[in-house]
Chain A
């Protein structure tokens, strides 16, 4: 089995993986980073979105060996060093952008990538960008509100 080395959330790590192992499985099973979730088998749900070399990637769409040498950021590395929530995470809590929490890591990672590319998106741009992340609980409104708020904008229809 090949040995790969990645820089995950700022720390160098190594793992032995089969050639067929996808990155999402390697993160969960080999590195114990179970915050990256697996919700489907067709790369549709987006629960496994991580950042590879700064870009949002569905971790089930690449083999772990392809991430050899890459910088990988996962949900576990998103909070501030003191453990407090970052701006996007805090906005999700403030705007009830999650219920069961299963899609949430992927949503946060997609939201972070969106705001990096487009710091002041319109609501339509947010909804369009999230096309690859499925949430079954919230109806997306809390998520969209959270991302608008995290970008310093006022959501169209606020929650309570």
Chain B
């Protein structure tokens, strides 16, 4: 039954109240007694040999407690990559060590090589200036083509190459794909760049280390999307602190978008320092440090070919991509350009041949890892741009060309040529909805109106599919993952009937405290406000893998569902005992247990109380208490999909692009809280439009980050964006998780970039300019250059 505020209800978020009143508690809002402050010395050169680091003067500065250099961590482990990727020749990827602090060499601007701990932050920052680092600047490797061609200038000397791996997917499809392209009546080719992005969660990273010498317990309070994963990495790989002696607590987290998935060296450092000093040690990133040291996103250079029949039937997609991994392998960096990208290269289409080659390249730049969408925006951008170009070359309508090749609703489950089995979808229904919402019939009139005002109007269309609900452990294990990707939940019904739900997922803006109780309330027929979510603290929650990859509800929510099912099963036993009947005769509905065919009835609250006062329990059959845990490992990825439309106006005098409309038709399966889902899509759209029009992490040839502040890196502001039309009514249920949900967190960022660029190219084409492609960000300068260059 749908409890008030249960599944499908646009319940207002309960967590909002503390955020709106300034009572949110983010990591930097915690300052334990006797806290010391940490500041890092970071490389100003992209590639350098460390000759010596003299910390003597710094150590003597006022308030300085201690100074660390890379040498202090030479014996501890490296921060590992989570996925082992093998090259086409069978060789495993190159995995140079990623140390806590740079040792021997610095490898990107912002690479930390020393840390000062002082009584105040200002004293620590002052002392960093007094560190005398003798570092020889070396030539930097920045451009990926140069990096692969260059065998003398290396990011990591010990591996003898700048290539991390050379991966093929699916290798068995390679010959057939090559053959199909060779013989195809028509081949469309496009070279494109997926621009480097800086995630820029508004809350900068922050970490506080604490150590209790009495118990030997460590505590790390940190900005994390996945506290258990962080604990595992620190314990098993980097510091060797036993997991049971380390608590990782991520309190309120101010956005992440991927950048707070990863374990960073600063976290290990504050723990080591806290133990050495026997005092809390706090580090809070500045925005400048965030630009230089947070994991960046995207940064692919791709050539894609689409082979098709003259009637537009797709025959093959073949992709060659160079993926920048930066100076070190961040935790998910090797999975992002491979299994989160290559496996999506069949898109929504019945194409029989797909082959993807990805070369991952080390450069003297900040590490690159998963950022909202993670591989899937790159796949969608390549596919949907080359399809648009093919439509023009074939003289076909871009919607008709897509529809001609869509997988049809009766074809599920559908084994894509890129190795995934899609369980459900209806791409034609999404496109039908889009065509209606976008008023395509009125486009010509709008275009004429724009022309009257001297503007070129264009229409961009896109369809996408993503693999979310990350991920089935058995599958990802085969693909190289070193972890499982299940999640976990404990449902604890307290004696007085209210409920605590401990979950492995961790909200950094997604509204879990509101949405998860909606699921439980629906199942138990109780007031959602009687249910509290506990998350973010490894000492309180079961081992879960956290929040990313649009997985929280699909994976952790399914664990919540399973644990709640167990609660109902056990409560039914207790109710049967209370009503002196057999469990199979007991029904549970609207929060009441009753015996079929009688007027015997006990409420859920009565059963909860009885569970903890088991004076007359048959203890061989029923244990006291009402608390259940479930680990849920998905059977498959989920496959959200969508159809997007965008109209733009281009000012031919300046090249400036204005977005007139953006419409997102998404299929997320079942929806638990439509308000939150709409907000997730709107936020994703903003980041996707940011990528398409504004944002770019630009390194110069010396490896200096030119767009390294919010004054240089163009974040979307309120006046850059339109109102969005968001619709998730064309839903097909996910067939393999118990809630039927697919995940919505990344869709907007995946679907919107090609939609915008398709619209800009369409505007220029309709305006008589022979422009086939403009790389993102589609800035005024680039548009003007394309029109006039």
**Contacts from A to B (Cβ < 8 Å):** 18, 20, 28-29, 33-42, 44-45, 47, 74-76, 78-79, 85, 89, 92-94, 96, 98-105, 108, 123-124, 126-128, 130-131, 133-144, 156-157, 159-160
* Inter-subunit contact B202/A100 (CB<8 Å): yes
How many angstroms from the CA of A16 to the CA of B481 in the assembled complex?
53
How many angstroms from the CA of A74 to the CA of B686 in the assembled complex?
28
A contact residues around B17 at 8 Å (CB) = 85, 93
* Inter-subunit contact A98/B19 (CB<8 Å): yes
* Inter-subunit contact A142/B21 (CB<8 Å): no
Jot down 8 A-B pairs with beta carbons below 8 A, ordered by A: A37-B202, A75-B20, A93-B12, A98-B20, A102-B24, A131-B718, A136-B687, A137-B683
B34 at the interface (CB under 8 A from A): no
A contact residues around B721 at 8 Å (CB) = 127, 139-141
B717 at the interface (CB under 8 A from A): yes
* Inter-subunit contact A101/B509 (CB<8 Å): yes
How many angstroms from the CA of A47 to the CA of B26 in the assembled complex?
13
How many Å from the CB of A138 to the closest CB on chain B?
A: 5
B contact residues around A135 at 8 Å (CB) = 202, 718
B contact residues around A105 at 8 Å (CB) = 22
How many angstroms from the CA of A109 to the CA of B29 in the assembled complex?
19
Report which of B676, B686, B719 forms a contact with A139, defined as CB distance below 8 A: B686
How many Å from the CB of A120 to the closest CB on chain B?
A: 18
* Inter-subunit contact A134/B686 (CB<8 Å): no
Of residues 630 through 652 on chain B, the ones whose CB sits less than 8 Å from some CB of chain A are none
Contacts known (A36-B22, A101-B16, A142-B679); A136 close to B201, Cβ less than 8 A: yes
Chain B, residue nearest A83 (CB): B21
**Contacts from B to A (Cβ < 8 Å):** 10, 12-13, 15-26, 28-29, 31, 122, 200-204, 252-255, 257, 286-288, 508-511, 674-676, 678-679, 682-687, 709-711, 715-719, 721, 723-725, 748
* Inter-subunit contact B202/A79 (CB<8 Å): no
Report which of B18, B122, B288, B675 forms a contact with A96, defined as CB distance below 8 A: B675
How many angstroms from the CA of A98 to the CA of B711 in the assembled complex?
24
* Inter-subunit contact A100/B674 (CB<8 Å): no
How many Å from the CB of B659 to the closest CB on chain A?
A: 12
A contact residues around B288 at 8 Å (CB) = 41
Report which of B122, B257, B511, B710 forms a contact with A20, defined as CB distance below 8 A: B122
Which of B15, B204, B288, B719 has most A Cβ within 10 Å?
Answer: B719
* Inter-subunit contact B21/A100 (CB<8 Å): no
* Inter-subunit contact B683/A99 (CB<8 Å): yes
How many angstroms from the CA of A44 to the CA of B19 in the assembled complex?
21
Report which of B26, B31, B684 forms a contact with A37, defined as CB distance below 8 A: B26
* Inter-subunit contact A134/B201 (CB<8 Å): no
* Inter-subunit contact B202/A35 (CB<8 Å): no
B contact residues around A89 at 8 Å (CB) = 20-21
How many Å from the CB of B297 to the closest CB on chain A?
A: 13
Contacts known (A99-B511, A101-B252, A134-B710); A45 close to B13, Cβ less than 8 A: no
How many angstroms from the CA of A156 to the CA of B24 in the assembled complex?
30
* Inter-subunit contact A138/B683 (CB<8 Å): yes
How many Å from the CB of A118 to the closest CB on chain B?
A: 15
How many angstroms from the CA of A133 to the CA of B716 in the assembled complex?
10
A contact residues around B15 at 8 Å (CB) = 101
Chain A, residue nearest B19 (CB): A101
| Apart from A96-B678, A142-B682: 7 A-B pairs, beta carbons within 8 A | A39-B204, A75-B20, A105-B22, A127-B718, A139-B683, A140-B718, A143-B718
Chain B, residue nearest A126 (CB): B718
Contacts known (A76-B22, A78-B21); A138 close to B686, Cβ less than 8 A: yes
How many Å from the CB of B222 to the closest CB on chain A?
A: 15
How many Å from the CB of A59 to the closest CB on chain B?
A: 13
* Inter-subunit contact B202/A102 (CB<8 Å): yes
B contact residues around A144 at 8 Å (CB) = 718, 723
How many Å from the CB of B256 to the closest CB on chain A?
A: 8
Chain A, residue nearest B748 (CB): A139
* Inter-subunit contact A139/B22 (CB<8 Å): no
B contact residues around A44 at 8 Å (CB) = 709-711
B contact residues around A20 at 8 Å (CB) = 122
A contact residues around B686 at 8 Å (CB) = 136, 138-140
How many Å from the CB of B722 to the closest CB on chain A?
A: 9
Which of B201, B254, B686 has most A Cβ within 10 Å?
Answer: B254
Which 5 A-B pairs have CB atoms at the shortest separation, nearest pair first? A35-B22, A101-B19, A102-B254, A100-B509, A139-B686
How many Å from the CB of B457 to the closest CB on chain A?
A: 20
Chain A, residue nearest B26 (CB): A102
How many Å from the CB of A97 to the closest CB on chain B?
A: 9
How many angstroms from the CA of A104 to the CA of B252 in the assembled complex?
13
* Inter-subunit contact B21/A76 (CB<8 Å): yes
* Inter-subunit contact A37/B203 (CB<8 Å): yes
How many Å from the CB of B516 to the closest CB on chain A?
A: 16
Report which of B10, B255, B710 forms a contact with A137, defined as CB distance below 8 A: B255
Report which of A78, A96, A100, A141 forms a contact with B255, defined as CB distance below 8 A: A100
* Inter-subunit contact B22/A45 (CB<8 Å): no
A contact residues around B286 at 8 Å (CB) = 41
Chain A, residue nearest B682 (CB): A139
How many angstroms from the CA of A8 to the CA of B202 in the assembled complex?
25
How many angstroms from the CA of A94 to the CA of B509 in the assembled complex?
16
Report which of A42, A79, A130 forms a contact with B717, defined as CB distance below 8 A: A130
* Inter-subunit contact B509/A79 (CB<8 Å): no
* Inter-subunit contact A127/B682 (CB<8 Å): no
* Inter-subunit contact B16/A42 (CB<8 Å): no
Which of B252, B508, B683, B684 has most A Cβ within 10 Å?
Answer: B683
Report which of B675, B684, B709 forms a contact with A42, defined as CB distance below 8 A: B709
B contact residues around A142 at 8 Å (CB) = 679, 682
How many angstroms from the CA of A38 to the CA of B252 in the assembled complex?
15
B contact residues around A126 at 8 Å (CB) = 718
B contact residues around A130 at 8 Å (CB) = 717-719
B contact residues around A134 at 8 Å (CB) = 202, 710, 715, 717
Chain A, residue nearest B662 (CB): A139
How many angstroms from the CA of A54 to the CA of B124 in the assembled complex?
35
* Inter-subunit contact B718/A18 (CB<8 Å): no
B contact residues around A85 at 8 Å (CB) = 17, 20-21
Report which of A79, A96, A156 forms a contact with B13, defined as CB distance below 8 A: A96
How many Å from the CB of A121 to the closest CB on chain B?
A: 12
* Inter-subunit contact A41/B683 (CB<8 Å): no
How many angstroms from the CA of A130 to the CA of B203 in the assembled complex?
18
* Inter-subunit contact A131/B26 (CB<8 Å): no
How many Å from the CB of A86 to the closest CB on chain B?
A: 9
How many angstroms from the CA of A33 to the CA of B31 in the assembled complex?
12
A contact residues around B508 at 8 Å (CB) = 100
How many angstroms from the CA of A103 to the CA of B676 in the assembled complex?
18
B contact residues around A29 at 8 Å (CB) = 31
* Inter-subunit contact B16/A92 (CB<8 Å): yes
How many angstroms from the CA of A101 to the CA of B510 in the assembled complex?
10
* Inter-subunit contact A42/B678 (CB<8 Å): no
B contact residues around A37 at 8 Å (CB) = 26, 202-203, 254
* Inter-subunit contact B254/A33 (CB<8 Å): no
* Inter-subunit contact A136/B679 (CB<8 Å): no
How many Å from the CB of B707 to the closest CB on chain A?
A: 12
Chain B, residue nearest A106 (CB): B202
Report which of A41, A75, A159 forms a contact with B287, defined as CB distance below 8 A: A41
Chain B, residue nearest A21 (CB): B122
How many angstroms from the CA of A133 to the CA of B718 in the assembled complex?
8
How many Å from the CB of A127 to the closest CB on chain B?
A: 4
How many angstroms from the CA of A137 to the CA of B681 in the assembled complex?
10
